[in-house]
Amino acid sequence: MCMFCAAIPVTAATGAALDSKQRHKHQAQGRLSRRIRPIPLLTVFAIVLLMIGSVFFHLKFLRFG
């Protein structure tokens, strides 16, 4: 598995864990979490970039994939 393909699930899990931690912190403080949160948006952006990198890597270097 290439580094891009391996990094996609790690990024998703890390983003979900950070978002969960932030939501629990806001609930403990008695604040409502905002509708649009920055961590899931950044996670999706990072996953899209990793997928683009993966496609480029697998098309450019077919013998390694």
How many domains does the chain fold into? 1
Torsional sign, CA 20, 10, 38, 36: negative
SS3 category, 1 = coil
Residue 25 lies in a domain: yes
Determine the Cα–Cα distance for residues 54 and 48; give it in Å rounded to an integer: 10
Residue 65 lies in a domain: no
Q: For residue 3, what pLDDT band results from cuts at 50, 70 and 90?
A: confident
Express each pLDDT in 13-45 by its tens digit.
999 999 999 888 888 888 776 676 899 999 999
Which positions ≥6 away from 53 have C-beta within 8 Å? 4
Residue 46 lies in a domain: yes
Residue 12 lies in a domain: yes
Residue 14: domain span: 3-60
Determine the Cα–Cα distance for residues 38 and 34; give it in Å rounded to an integer: 9
Express each pLDDT in 41-62 by its tens digit.
999 999 999 999 999 988 887 7
